[in-house]
């Protein structure tokens, strides 16, 4: 499956290169955003990489290449072959974008996304170090765009992760950040995921994470409703099958 996908993506990139002279950057950008909205992340990424090769200082291109690379690699990579160097390059792209425009919400989101993925494979100490930076970037993004579904999703993961820390890890967070970093709870995670569903209602991953959090809170009836809603979704993006499979697996555990 991955080999076929890679060949298809390469074909898309070649065709785009051949046809680039017939399309303006604005037209290519519009096509790429539309593909991203539909969940066709790999094809969208191919176009944004082409655009970035034309203009390496365009913040939108930098942000999308960073987030889409993180997304596709995270979905496709195996646990025993984590592309840390690629994730760090995504972090570099996001930081470069922030230097160009510190007021761009997407740049703050891209930076939070990249370090959030890196944090998944880091030690607990490194996760604690990253936590404060990630929260700051998400707050900066949502301050500038309070309807950013992706940022609320990451915020939900942020609260979820802190809620899962043991007492010693929570103490380390308080010592390091003091009162500036709130203690994460599953209720706060659920509230963030609820907003991600409000602002991006067709994306089943938001619903899966919300249901998973409800389950941790002992609210299995609500979890079942959201899992079934996600399973019944007509969303057909690149990650549709994997997300719905996760929903089916959790739903089976709740019955």
Domains of the chain as residue ranges with CATH: 1-121 (1.25.40.10)
pTM over 0.85, yes/no: yes
The whole-number pLDDT of residue 18 equals 46
Q: Mean pLDDT, to the nearest integer, of 62-72?
A: 98
Q: Mean pLDDT, to the nearest integer, of 104-114?
A: 98
| Band of residue 124 on the pLDDT scale cut at 50, 70, 90 | confident
Contacts of 191 (CB under 8 A, 6+ apart): none
| Band of residue 21 on the pLDDT scale cut at 50, 70, 90 | low
| 93 has pLDDT over 60 | yes
| 10 has pLDDT over 60 | no
| 4 has pLDDT over 70 | no
| Band of residue 127 on the pLDDT scale cut at 50, 70, 90 | confident
């Amino acid at each position: 499956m991955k080999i076929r996908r890679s060949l298809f993506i390469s074909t898309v990139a070649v065709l785009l290169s051949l046809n680039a002279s017939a399309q303006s950057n604005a037209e290519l950008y519009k096509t790429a955003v539309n593909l991203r909205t539909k969940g066709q992340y790999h094809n969208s990424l191919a176009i944004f990489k082409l655009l970035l090769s034309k203009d390496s200082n365009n913040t939108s291109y930098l942000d999308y290449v960073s987030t889409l690379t993180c997304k596709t690699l995270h979905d496709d990579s195996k646990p025993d072959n984590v592309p840390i160097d690629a994730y760090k390059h995504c972090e570099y792209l996001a930081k470069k974008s922030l230097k160009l425009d510190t007021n761009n919400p997407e740049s703050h989101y891209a930076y939070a996304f990249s370090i959030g993925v890196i944090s998944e494979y880091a030690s607990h100490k490194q996760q604690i170090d990253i936590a404060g930076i990630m929260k700051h970037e998400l707050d900066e993004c949502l301050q500038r765009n309070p309807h950013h579904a992706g940022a609320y999703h990451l915020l939900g993961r942020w609260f979820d992760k802190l809620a899962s820390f043991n007492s010693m890890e929570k103490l380390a967070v308080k010592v390091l950040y003091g009162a500036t970093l709130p203690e994460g709870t599953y209720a706060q995670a659920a509230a963030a995921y609820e907003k991600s569903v409000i602002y991006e209602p067709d994306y089943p991953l938001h619903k899966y994470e919300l249901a998973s959090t409800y389950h941790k809170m002992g609210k299995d009836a609500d979890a079942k409703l959201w899992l079934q809603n996600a399973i019944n979704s007509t969303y057909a993006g690149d990650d549709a099958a994997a997300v719905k499979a996760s929903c089916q697996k959790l739903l089976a555990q709740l019955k």
